[in-house]
Amino acid sequence: MTDGPSYGFDTLQIHAGARPDPATGARNTPIYQTTAYVFRDAEHAAALFNLQEVGYIYSRLTNPTVAVLQERIATLEGGVGAVCCSSGHAAQIMALFPLMQPGMNVVASTRLYGGTITQFSQTIKRFGWEAKFVDFDDEDAVKAAIDDNTRAVFCEAIANPGGYITDLDAISAISDAVGIPLIVDNTSATPYLCRPIEHGATLVVHSTTKYLTGNGTVTGGCVVDSGKFDWTASDKFPSLSAPEPAYHGLKFAETFGPLAYTFHGIAIGLRDLGMTMNPQAAHYTLMGVETLSLRMQRHVENAQAVASWLEKNEHVEYVTYAGLESSPYNHRVEKICPKGAGGLFTFALKAGYEGCIKLVNSLEIFSHVANLGDTRSLVIHSASTTHRQLSPEQQEAAGAGPNVVRISIGIENAEDLIADLDQAIKTVSA
């Protein structure tokens, strides 16, 4: 099929990037479980290695099954291209890699997944990079944090764990004014609920492990390129605008135009970092994406019902779901996530830290795992697990205080989920 604006989301999530296999006629995308690909001749091989021709060389760089997934996610996000990799964390490093150099920094939201905060505050220091964490609700603070060495602004569309919605239009206006890219992690929202590129994002990253796959089977990540950023407008991004020594002085921005960032992600990022997605993982994710809109509709319906019930429970201090009228982020739902506020949020128990531990141990339908975005409902006490490496101040800033439980609402019957939470809360308060 020809992908285009005439096709709706539900059609594209099934068909984008996929064609019947030309060799066998197989309708489903095959798993091309191969390491390497035979060249037609010596000239063909040389053209591929010189980036003069697009094709398959070695599965660390490109693979036909992964290529279908890349095209599908890029289409759903409204981007020009995408690069899939081994995990969401890999996608974050892949996204920053062409932009950063030693001494450079990224301005990041305080409301991020705990592992991302650790990656940005600790691990990237080994590359000579720095992260400045700012409350993105304070636009003046974001502006003040950006300096001459800032090379990217980073946030989540729907923040994990609290489900807070970022005002992407306001943040992109700030990044545009200083000529640096905005990177948006769209894992919790998915392109069905939010399309960050339409709100000014330059790049979109995903942990495809979560809602895109939706069944808790494989890990993966993806970086989507909007194709709208002018990498030659300044000298801040030499990896994309200046001659590349590894390709005889080729300039990615000059040679590949809107696809410069995508080609760099494959030809340099995957080549040298090796954060490759395996074809079987791509296959599982492709199957998951086919039902993305159906699942997200149910996630949102169930989350709304569960959050509304929790908000009325006398043992619950507060609920952070943006779909509730009481949420300070409710007014952003219609603008940023018009189809719903997602399926991820937190609630605070009056019983405190120990009460949260007891609740997690008392739930029966909810699975206690360090994951989200599954068809199954999931629960975790972030302060003792995913965010335990952070300071108490960082935990509070991220929305993962000691009395807070994160839940990822699945697609089961909402009544059963509420009953399970009811019995667990009663066990805690007994």
Question: Within the chain, which residue ranges are assigned CATH 3.40.640.10?
Answer: 9-288
**Which alpha helices (DSSP H) does 131-167 contain, by range?**
139-145
Rounded to whole angstroms, how far apart are CA atoms 189 and 146? 26
Q: What is the largest CA-CA distance in the chain?
A: 76
**Which residue(s) pair with 379 in the sheet?**
368, 407
Rounded to whole angstroms, how far apart are CA atoms 371 and 188? 11
Rounded to whole angstroms, how far apart are CA atoms 412 and 426? 21
H or E element that contains 175: helix 168-177
For the domain spanning 292-429, the CATH number is 3.90.1150.10
Q: pLDDT of 285-313, one tens digit each? A: 999 999 999 999 999 999 999 999 999 99
H or E element that contains 293: helix 292-311
Question: What's the N-to-C CA distance of the chain in angstroms?
Answer: 59
For the domain spanning 9-288, the CATH number is 3.40.640.10
Pick the closest to residue 210 from 280, 285, 110 (CA basis).
285
> Would you give per-residue pLDDT tens digits along the chain (430 residues)?
544 458 999 999 999 999 888 888 899 999 999 999 999 999 999 999 999 999 999 999 999 999 999 999 999 999 999 999 999 999 999 999 999 999 999 999 999 998 899 999 999 999 999 999 999 999 999 999 999 999 999 999 999 988 999 999 999 999 999 999 999 999 999 999 999 999 999 999 999 999 999 999 999 999 999 999 999 999 999 999 999 999 999 999 999 999 999 999 999 999 999 999 999 999 999 999 999 999 999 999 999 999 999 999 999 999 999 999 999 999 999 999 999 999 999 999 999 999 999 999 999 999 999 999 999 999 999 888 877 777 888 888 778 889 999 999 999 999 999 999 999 999 998 8
Question: Within the chain, which residue ranges are assigned CATH 3.90.1150.10?
Answer: 292-429
